[in-house]
Structure 1
Amino acid sequence: MSSSENSNDKVVVGIDRLSDGPMHTQDPFLFCVYHKDQYPAGNGKMEAPRRGNGADFNPNAPYRMYHGEKVPGFPQHPHRGFETITATLDGIIDHTDSMGNAGRYGEGDLQWMTAGKGVVHGEMFPLIHEDKENPTRFFQIWLNLPSKSKMTEPAFVMHWGSETKKVKDEGGADVIVWVGEHKGERTAMKSPPNSWAADPENDVGVVFYSLKPGGKCEIAPAKGGKATNRFLYFVEGENGKQFVSDVNVPKKHGAEIVGDKTAVLENRSETETMDVLLLQGKPIGEPVASHGPFVMNTRQEIMQCFEDYQRTRFGGWPWEKDAMVFPADKPRFSLLNGVEELGK
C-alpha cells in the first residue's frame, strides 16, 4: 500500500505471525490450531512409533503424538465454558465423552461440541490404514460462550462432509462453508442451540478457501459490517506469493481484515496451492478468565471449575480406556444419546 492511501480504505489492518501451536484469535473465538501430521502406516493396533515425551508438539517433526502414548491424540480431559469446533480435511478422529456420546469422523466432517457446564472428552487419531500412510489435517477452534450460556447443558452435533456446503468459486477457489456463508451460499448445518453462532445476528463464520495456482477469490463484506471481527489464517502456500487485497501476507502469517469491505484473496504462485481459513463473528465483549481447559469470566469462576471437576468429574468417564479408539474396520459414525448413525 502507498503511504498516501487513506487508512479508512484499508482492508487489511494488521498482520501477525502464526504460532506453531494455538494461533492468535479475536473475540468471539478463543483458540485455533492447525493440525497437520504425516502419520505412518498403522501397526495393526492403530499405533505409531512413540515420539516426544508425552507433550509432543514439535513443529519440525513429521508427526506429533500430542498426549497419546501409543495412538496419537488427546486422551480424556475436561472442558467448561466454551465450545469446540473440529473441522477436518484429512484423516480420522475418534471421539468419546462423559455423556456417553461417541463418533468416528474425518475426511471433511465437522464435529461441534458445547462444553457448557462441563464435559470430559477424548480425541484420538487412530492409524486405521496398515497398507499406506495416515495423514491428518484439521482445525480445532474454540468458540467462546457468553456468561449467560457458560453453564448450559453440554451438547454434541456431527455434520457429515457430504452435507457440508461446498462452492466452486469462479476465480479458481474451492470453498468449504463450515459455518456461515460465502457469497450468499449458506450452510444448512445448525450449531448447538446455545451457541453464540445460533443467533444469525452474531455473524459467526468458519470458511475454508483453497486457491489453485493463479487463483483469485472475493470475500464479500460481513453482514455485520464493521461490528464483525474477521481474521484470515494463511496455513499453506508459497512465501511471497500470498495476497489479500494486494497486501502480501508472509508464510505462516495471518491478516486481520475489516468487516465492511470486500477482501480479495489471490494466489500468485505458479505451483503451490494456497489454503486460508476465515474466522469471523461479532464479539461477545465480556471479560475472559481462562486456565487450561476452562474458560469463564472471573478467576473465582475458574477456581470453582477446578473444585467442581475434582468433586464430580463432570459425570465420570463411561469408557474402558482414557485413550479410547474404535476397531480399525468400524466406519465413520456418530453415537448421540444412545442412537448410532453412520457417516454420510
Structure 2
Amino acid sequence: MRSIKKVHKAEYRPIADLITYSPMPTGSIQMIDPFLFLNHHGPQKYPPNNNGLPFGPHPHRGMETVTFILEGDIAHKDSGGHKSVIESGGVQWMTAGSGLIHAEVSSEEFKKEGGDLEILQLWLNLPAKYKMTKPQYLGFQKDQIPTISLDDGKITGQVVSGKLKEVAGAFDTFTNINLATLKFEKEAKLELSVPIEHNIFFYVINGEFDVNENQVKALNLVEFNNDDEQLQINAKAGSTLLFGHAQPFDEPVIARGPFVMNSLDEIDQAYSDFQAGKMGEWNE
C-alpha cells in the first residue's frame, strides 16, 4: 500500500461571516504538485436577506479554479463574457490562462431566501506551456456530471475530470487531472490503484476514514509518498471525500496573490497587464 507522509489539519480562516477552512497551503504544507490551494467554505446556514458570498471581481492568470457547490449556489461572471448560476451538486471549471477577471457571488434568490451553503474551491496549476492559453469557463449542474456507484451502492460519487473505475469525468482538461467527490456510508470500502508517479489529493470533507490503515478525520488533507499504487479506504462513519491524482509538473511555482507563474518576472508582468486592462473589461 502507498504510505502516508503526513496528515495536515485545515486551518480555520473565516472571511467576514463566511466559515472557511484552508487545508492548503498552511504552515505544514505548501502544495501537492499540481494541486495548489483549497478553501472549504461552510457548512453553514445563511438567513434571509443575507449578503451572500464575498468574492467580488478579481483577476487570475496561470492557473485553474475548480469549484464544487455542495450546498447553496454560485453566480459566476467573468470578463470573457461567461455567466452562470450553478446550484447545489454542480461544479465550475475556470481556466484563467493568460488572464481574466471574475466574480463569484451568491444568486439574488439565495441572498433573498437564505439557505445552506458549503463550497470547495481548488486551485490547479497550469504548466508553462499552457499558462498563457486563452481563458475558458464551464459550469455544469448536478445532472450534467457523470455519477459512479461502488461497493453495492454504499459509495456514490461524481466523476468531475479524468477517470475513476473507467467512468469518464464531465470536464476535458489540459493536464489530465483526475478529480471526484465520493460519499461513503458507514463501513463502506474502496480499493483504488493510482499510478505510482502520480501525486494524490485526498481531503476529508466530513466523517472519518481509515486509509491504508491510518485514521483520518474530517477537515484533514493526506499527503502520500510515491511508493506504491494501492489505496484501501474504509469509512468509519458516513463520510465525504474529495479525491484526485495527477502527474506532477516539476516546474518552478511562483504564486503572488491571484497569479501563479514560473518566475517573478512573469508575476510582475501579470500585475502590469492587469493594471493596463489586458485581462478584460469589467462591466457591472
Smaller-chain TM-score bracket: 0.7 to 0.9
Is 1:15 matched with 2:7? yes
Is the CA contact (8 Å cut-off) linking 2:23 and 2:39 kept in structure 1? yes
Aligned partners of 1:266, 1:93: CA distance in 2, in Å? 32
Aligned partners of 1:235, 1:95: CA distance in 2, in Å? 23
Seen in structure 2, the aligned counterparts of structure 1 residues 139 and 131 have a Cα distance that, compared at 3 Å, is closer
Aligned partners of 1:189, 1:72: CA distance in 2, in Å? 25
Is 1:312 matched with 2:277? yes
Aligned partners of 2:172, 2:201: CA distance in 1, in Å? 22
Which amino acid is 2:131 matched to?
A: K
SS at match of 1:315: coil
The Cα shift of 1:211 comes to 1.0
TM-score (norm 2): 0.87
Aligned partners of 1:306, 1:132: CA distance in 2, in Å? 38
RMSD: 2.1
Is 1:31 matched with 2:37? yes
Aligned partners of 2:274, 2:110: CA distance in 1, in Å? 37
Is the CA contact (8 Å cut-off) linking 1:91 and 1:107 kept in structure 2? yes
Aligned partners of 1:229, 1:94: CA distance in 2, in Å? 32
Say which of 55, 58, 72 aligns to 1:77: 58
Which amino acid is 1:249 matched to?
A: V
Is the CA contact (8 Å cut-off) linking 2:52 and 2:110 kept in structure 1? no
Q: Rg larger in 1 or in 2? A: 1
The Cα shift of 1:258 comes to 5.1
SS at match of 1:317: coil
The Cα shift of 1:108 comes to 1.5
Equivalent position of 1:331 in the other structure? none
Is 1:268 matched with 2:274? no
State the percentage of identical aligned residues.
Answer: 29
Is 1:213 matched with 2:186? yes
Seen in structure 2, the aligned counterparts of structure 1 residues 229 and 130 have a Cα distance that, compared at 3 Å, is closer
Unaligned runs of 5+ in 2: 13-20, 25-30
Equivalent position of 2:129 in the other structure? 148
Which amino acid is 1:299 matched to?
A: L
Aligned partners of 1:147, 1:161: CA distance in 2, in Å? 32
SS at match of 2:233: strand
Aligned partners of 1:268, 1:293: CA distance in 2, in Å? 37
SS at match of 1:128: helix
The Cα shift of 1:89 comes to 1.8
Which amino acid is 1:42 matched to?
A: P
Aligned partners of 1:130, 1:110: CA distance in 2, in Å? 20
Which amino acid is 1:111 matched to?
A: Q
The Cα shift of 1:95 comes to 0.6
Unaligned runs of 5+ in 1: 1-8, 49-69, 198-203, 321-344
The Cα shift of 1:109 comes to 1.5
Is the CA contact (8 Å cut-off) linking 1:76 and 1:120 kept in structure 2? yes
Say which of 118, 137, 147 aligns to 1:166: 147
Provide, for residues 101-125 of structure 1, a one-character-per-residue CA deviation record: whole Å limited to 9, x for no partner: 1111121221111111110000002
Seen in structure 2, the aligned counterparts of structure 1 residues 40 and 159 have a Cα distance that, compared at 3 Å, is closer
Equivalent position of 2:169 in the other structure? 187
Aligned partners of 2:190, 2:36: CA distance in 1, in Å? 27
The Cα shift of 1:72 comes to 2.4
Which amino acid is 1:14 matched to?
A: K
Say which of 252, 255, 263 aligns to 1:287: 252
The Cα shift of 1:129 comes to 5.0
Say which of 190, 196, 212 aligns to 1:226: 196
Equivalent position of 1:87 in the other structure? 68
SS at match of 2:75: strand
Aligned partners of 1:186, 1:258: CA distance in 2, in Å? 26
Equivalent position of 1:342 in the other structure? none
Aligned partners of 2:170, 2:62: CA distance in 1, in Å? 26
Which amino acid is 1:293 matched to?
A: P
Q: How many residues align?
A: 268
Is 1:253 matched with 2:220? yes
Aligned partners of 1:131, 1:22: CA distance in 2, in Å? 28
Is the CA contact (8 Å cut-off) linking 1:87 and 1:178 kept in structure 2? no
